[in-house]
Homo-oligomer: A and B are copies of this chain.
Amino acid sequence: MTISEENYIKVIYHLSLVSPKGVNTNAIAGMLDTKASSVTDMMKKLSDKDLVSYQKYQGVTLTEKGFHSAKMIVRKHRLWEVFLVDKLGFSWDEVHEIAEELEHIKSEQLINKLDAFLGFPVADPHGDPIPDAKGVIKKIEKQLLSEVEINAAFHCVGVKDSSTDFLKYLDKQKIALGSVVKVIDKEDFDDTLTVEIDGKRLTISNKIANNLYVQ
C-alpha cells in the first residue's frame, strides 16, 4: 500500500465507526482535505485491491482485509504517539502530526518491538485504545462527562476532540488523563457544569463536557 492508500483506508475506518452502513464520498474528501472526484478515483483502486467494497453512489465499506489494514495503521499511529510522549517528552497536543508520518513506516517487526519497548500500552496519550499485534482492540469503558450523574466521582480517561485548541485548554485548566472529576452541579439552561477536578472547583461549558471521557 502507498502512503496515500493508507491514509484513505484509515479515514474510512474512522468514519465507518460512525456510519457503519457505508461511508460517503464527501465525508472522506472532507477528512483528507481533497476533492470528491479524487476520492472516487481512489475508491476504484482500493476496490480493485479488495480493501473496500464499493458500488457507485452507495458509499463504501471496508472489507475484512481493509479493516485489518486499517487497524494496523491505527496501531502504529497510537504506539508512536505513546513513544513521543512517554519517551521523548512531547506534549499530547504535539504528537498527532508526527505520528501521521510515522504510521506509514513499513516494518512489522519494528512496530512489535516498539510495542514491547513501551510496555504494551493499551491506550495512546489521548485515551484511544491501541489494537494489539493481531488487531484486537480492548474496549475501554467510558462515558462523556456531559452524560454522567451528579455527585459521583470519575476519572478522566480520554478526549473525543483531540485538537490542539482543546488539549491546550485542558492543560491550562490542569485537567489530564487520570484526573479525578466530580460533577457538583448542572445548570438547566445551558448544561454548564460546576465540577471539582483534583479537588479544585471549576465551571465548564457543555462543549467541554461533551469532549471529555470519564470512567
Contacts and interface: CB of A to CB of B under 8 A. Distances in A.
Given A114-B88, A117-B88, A105 B107 contact: no
Nearest to A104: B101
A42 to B, nearest CB: 20
Given A102-B105, A105-B98, A117 B87 contact: yes
**Copies of this polypeptide in the complex:** 2
A101 B106 contact: yes
Contact of A113 (B90, B107, B113): B90
Interface residues of A, number: 18
Contacts of A87: 117
Interface in A58-77: none
Interface string A87-115: 11110001001100110011101100110
Contacts of A82: none
A84 interface: yes
A3 to B, nearest CB: 9
Closest 10 CB pairs of A and B: A88-B113, A101-B105, A98-B107, A88-B117, A98-B110, A87-B117, A102-B105, A89-B113, A101-B106, A88-B114
19 contacts: A84-B110, A87-B117, A88-B110, A88-B113, A88-B114, A88-B117, A89-B113, A90-B109, A90-B113, A94-B109, A97-B107, A98-B105, A98-B106, A98-B107, A98-B110, A101-B105, A101-B106, A101-B107, A102-B105
